Structures are given as C-alpha cells and as structure tokens.
Structure 1
C-alpha cells in the first residue's frame, strides 16, 4: 500500500476533518515524524515495540494507525523498547490531533503559538496550512527539540522552534491569534491568556488531578480573561512544571462507613468528573477493579489521603481517612451536589481564566461552582 493510500485510509476514519485539513494530512506524512524504534500505545490492548529495522511493515502500519505512539520514556532515561516508566513524549493519535485542530479553527494568515513541539508533526501540519513564518512552537526537552527540528526539515518545513518552558509562552512574537497546546495542564498558565490576541483562541487538554481529561477551548475576550467550554475526553502527558507525585502520609487512619457506592462516583459521567474537579481541584484519585467484584478507590492531596473499599457482600462500604481533611467526605459531598443539579453533562460546564486563577462554571460564567 502506498503512503497516499495509507493516509487516505487513516483520514477516512476521521469524520472531524474538513477538506483543507485532509489535504494537510496528505501533505505532511506522519511516518516522517515517527522514530525507528517507538512504543505503540493502543487504547484497547497492551502496548508493544515497533522497530522499523526489524519489522518495517508493522512499523509503517502503526505510523498510519489511529493510535498514539510513545517516543520517550522517563525524559529519555529509560529504554523505549521495554515500554516501562513514565511516558514523557509521544505522537498523539491522529483523531485527537484532528479534534484539537478543528477547535483551533485558524484563519489564513493566523499566527499560532504551539506549546509542546513533541515529534514536530502538529507543528508541521500547522505550518503547511498557515505558513512556516506564522508558527512558533516551544519545546522544553533538548533531545526532543533537536529531533523535531530534523523531522520538520525532512518534511520540508521550518517553523520557528523555541527551546524553553512553554508555561511562559513566547512573548517576543505575541499576541497570537491561536494558541495550540499539546501537553496536559491542570492550571492554565496565565501567560497564555496574556499572549492571546483579543478574540483569539486557546485549545488545550485540561488534565485535572481528579479523573479524566477534557479537550478545552477558551476564547480571549479582551479584558484579560479567557472563557470557554469542554469538549471530548482526552489523556495527555503533563506540562513538565505541572507534573505531580503522590505524597507519603504517616498519620493514623480514621475509620468510618459510607453507603454511597464509590464505583458510581468515578463512573457516572464526564459531567461528574468536571464538577468534582472544579470543586476539589487539589484532590487526586485512582481506582481499580479487584477479584470477586470488589473495587478500591484511593484519594490523596498534599496533606491528606483516603482509602474506600467496596465489597459486594457488605452493604456498608469501608472508609479510611487520615490527615486534616476528610477527602472521602469532601468527594461524597461534591458528587451529591452534582446529582442535586440534575446530573448535568460535560457540555453544560465551562471554564474562566483570570489573573487571579481559573474557575469552573455550570451553564453560565456567572454561575461558578468553585
């Protein structure tokens, strides 16, 4: 199968592509941005190594699949061939890239700031659509930056590449018509709002500490604030300055019982995820299904943690909490508050970013839930 046929087969799977972006995907072949050895990370199965030298056909098949491909682990300190460690750079799944570009909705001649060059593929797509001179892309990792520059040169593009921390944007070329972010953030850096032209758009993956991630589009409204809504679910690697780790707590647990099923708290809807993340922005969670239908939920913040365990043979659900906060009590109250609103879905929520911080709202920016 030719490259053109592979691109056509891939883009035919993506209903969110208009004809102009479809042409761009053909003009900037994805395989030019995939390293010879990488880790395929499908949504529906275990990951596996792709090696162009050992198996060129599988490598090319994956390059043109609708799958994310991990290109760096542990900031380059781990062997990509083992697939173990923290994923720190990747080529996002093409459908996710297309969704972000659709929300970006640039006009001809728009100047775009991209945060997170990665492999360089999305910078290449933007440069092909808008011109090299209109694209500025910021990458914090020296090795990733160097490889992206080589990839873009091979693809025939030379957007402005900046080695630096994307949390600060790139004020030298501001203001920008569009800001395109390829890494997750739980707190929107205000520099991005400052560097957006009035009427400009910021598209980014909001990755709150609570469950899930949400593709988000904010509009810079010209008074120093940006307002917008949440769209599809996504998972992205975090902006490096916003990575977090789980703290260790040594306090003695307080025991209690709840009748609220923790499975419903974490599985009700994306609307519940956003509501909880908005009300409890500093609370993290992780859960797992266990043998015999049991289910375990862990919660933690900087100073407290909680363990909640469901077992089908018991009506009451065991709760352990320690630290100055009762994290399960707070989570239970937030979830039931969302239910009291009529269980609104994701499309009814939005976000406002101001110089003082960010706030989640329901239905209207005047109705803050934080």
Structure 2
C-alpha cells in the first residue's frame, strides 16, 4: 500500500533504538527519515533531471532519492550521493544494491568539501539535490554546479520552502521558492528551531522565559498597546511568510494560552488577549514584523512569483523583484532595525 507519509528511519543520530515507543517519546529527535512521496516528487520536478545529467544527492539517508535520480538520469554511474553518517551511508549503499543500482556513495560532509568520482572529468554536476533543511547555502554547491545547472534544496530559516537555484556564468546562483516543506536540518546547521512544530514553540517559549531573568545586560521589557490587531501577521500569505522568516526570524503563532508569540530564541514579543504587547530581549521583534508587513504592503503584497533568493561568493539574501537587490534594501523601511538571520539577508 502506498501512503504519502514520512517514515522515520533513525533517532538521535543512531544513539537511540528505533522503536515506536522511542519515536513517540518527547525526549528523542528524528535524525533521518524517508520524506513524503509528494514532497520528494515536487523536489525532483523542480530539479528537472535529464538523461545523461550528473547528479549530486546531498543527504543519502535511505538511498531512496539517489535511486530515483539514477532512474531519471538513466545511468547510476552519473549519480553521487553524500551522507555524513557512516551507518546511514552503508545502509543507503546496501538498499541501492538490492535494487541493482550502484551510484557512488560517499561518506562525508557535503557542506564543506565534495569528493568527485574519477569519472567526472571536470568535477562539475548538472543537478544538486538536497534532502536536508538549509539556513545558509554552502557556496561549494554553487562552485561545483555547471552554469545553467540547478540546485534544489529545502530552505529553512525557519519556515521551510523548496528553493530552486540556477547557477549563472558569473559564479552566482538565483531562483525562486516553491512548496512549503519541513526537513531535518543539515547536521552542521542544526540549531534550535522553535518554529517548526507547536511543541517546539512551547519549549522555546519556556527557555526564553527562563533565560530572560538575571542577565545584567538584558534590556528592560517594552510594553505598549497594539495599534492594529494581530490578524495581519498571523497565517501570513506565502510571500510575507518568506520575508518574515528571512528578515525577522519567524512568524507569529498562537500559544495554548491564547497569547500570540514571536521569538528568535533570545528576543520575544508577546501579545496577550487584551491586545497588550510586551517585547523582551535585544530586539523589538513585533516592531520589526510590523515594519516588514508595511513595506510588503507598499510593494503591492508580492507573492512567490516576485520573491526569490540569490547566492554569491560574498553574500546570500532574499530579494523582491530584482535578484541583484537584497530585500532589506528593496523594502526600505523594513531594513531599519531588522537583524540579519540565518545568513538570509546578509549584504
């Protein structure tokens, strides 16, 4: 029977036995999974692998997506999969071999260095397929992709969306966002992610509460009444969601007590049911979010058809309308006071 489900295949980097009880325990964390078939299909559709393409599959996991890439390219020798976990790499190779497929399976960190099979005369790939959440795109992926080639990855700073980048002749890459998604972060970028699931939000809220007391350099709380309600920032349109995630660090969400919260893990904004706003920490997150919303509205409420992402050797950033201009500049007012987060608005 086929099911559009995520199947967890490893817990806590292999340190915890994979059992139903352990998988359900709040103290454990999945570290590898076979993704939703519909989401995998969407990523491969954006990747647009052609027969004869050389493909790099980052995050081999079970070997499933590497096998699909081998099928699409027509020759498993053209596919290289890189997996940082030796046990997972071995499992991927075994699974692929049982299917009669023998792509190159490399154990290593694809974010820092890439080993290319000797059969690759120029060391370049036509397609790079990434199966882990990314907050900062490793430039080595752009360097090792042929101009005109595509990189498809789950961009996750924190609200995840598939991102397809096309590499240009000048050594940059640019592209647009697609379907919303949620992937486990690249291991070298695994930081607390309070925005992916409601229980993570609540946990982060508790951590922020505990960490906000007793710090000598913590600014005092700032309290005011909201001029407008919270509705404009809750459940934002996809274009605004991308801008809030990249420029502010998250989007607001409703806690179990009915308060509306926005946090980056250090600063926090809380709106109680009476409409009173309290901001703590070094950043005024709600002010920043309102500023982004006003700028987004002035720009005609751009959607995903007008918003994209650019990577160069020096910087990477979300943009609106012009791939050469970071959103923090294009939005004007939104640039004032918004901190760079997750490498997305650098420059």
TM-score by length of 2: 0.80
Of the three residues 38, 43, 66, the one matched with 2:4 is 66
SS in 1 for 2:253: strand
After superposition, the Cα gap between the structure-2 partners of 1:260 and 1:69, relative to the gap in structure 1 and judged at 3 Å, is: farther
Structure 1 distance, partners of 2:228, 2:128, is 41
- Matches for 1:247-286 after TM superposition, within 5 Å: 248-249=211-212, 250=215, 251=218, 253-257=220-224, 258-280=226-248, 283-284=249-250
Give the match for residue 42 of structure 1.
Answer: none
- Between structures 1 and 2, the one with greater helix share: 1
Matched-pair contact (CA < 8 Å) for 2:163–2:175: yes
Give the match for residue 287 of structure 1.
Answer: 253
Q: Deviations over 1:38-61 (max 9, x none)?
A: xxxxxxxxxxxxxxxxxxxxxxx4
- Matches for 1:312-351 after TM superposition, within 5 Å: 314=274, 316-323=275-282, 325-351=283-309
SS in 1 for 2:4: coil
Give the match for residue 8 of structure 1.
Answer: none
Q: After superposing the two structures, state which structure 1 stretch, 167-176 or 347-356, moved more.
A: 167-176
Q: Deviations over 1:343-369 (max 9, x none)?
A: 211221011100012111112214431
Give the match for residue 121 of structure 1.
Answer: 64
Matched-pair contact (CA < 8 Å) for 2:233–2:251: no
Structure 2 distance, partners of 1:357, 1:339, is 26
Give the match for residue 110 of structure 1.
Answer: 53
Give the match for residue 263 of structure 2.
Answer: 299
> How many Å apart are 1:88 and its aligned residue?
1.1
SS in 1 for 2:271: strand
Matched-pair contact (CA < 8 Å) for 1:266–1:273: no
Of the three residues 265, 272, 276, the one matched with 1:310 is 272
> How many Å apart are 1:171 and its aligned residue?
4.7
Q: Deviations over 1:255-301 (max 9, x none)?
A: 31223434531412111111123333xx346733435xx23313125
Give the match for residue 358 of structure 1.
Answer: 316
Give the match for residue 338 of structure 2.
Answer: none
After superposition, the Cα gap between the structure-2 partners of 1:100 and 1:156, relative to the gap in structure 1 and judged at 3 Å, is: same
Of the three residues 124, 135, 147, the one matched with 1:198 is 147
Q: What's the C-alpha RMSD, in Å, of the aligned pairs?
A: 2.0
Matched-pair contact (CA < 8 Å) for 1:181–1:205: yes
Matched-pair contact (CA < 8 Å) for 1:169–1:195: no
Structure 1 distance, partners of 2:252, 2:14, is 26
After superposition, the Cα gap between the structure-2 partners of 1:133 and 1:259, relative to the gap in structure 1 and judged at 3 Å, is: same
Q: What is the aligned residue count?
A: 296
Give the match for residue 180 of structure 2.
Answer: 233
Give the match for residue 86 of structure 2.
Answer: 142
- Matches for 1:186-225 after TM superposition, within 5 Å: 186-209=135-158, 212-225=159-172
Matched-pair contact (CA < 8 Å) for 1:309–1:319: yes
Q: Deviations over 1:284-331 (max 9, x none)?
A: 46733435xx23313125xx41131231xx2x33213123x2222222
After superposition, the Cα gap between the structure-2 partners of 1:278 and 1:300, relative to the gap in structure 1 and judged at 3 Å, is: closer
Runs of 5+ consecutive residues of structure 1 not aligned to the other structure: 1-60
Runs of 5+ consecutive residues of structure 2 not aligned to the other structure: 193-203, 329-347
> How many Å apart are 1:253 and its aligned residue?
4.2
Matched-pair contact (CA < 8 Å) for 2:54–2:126: yes
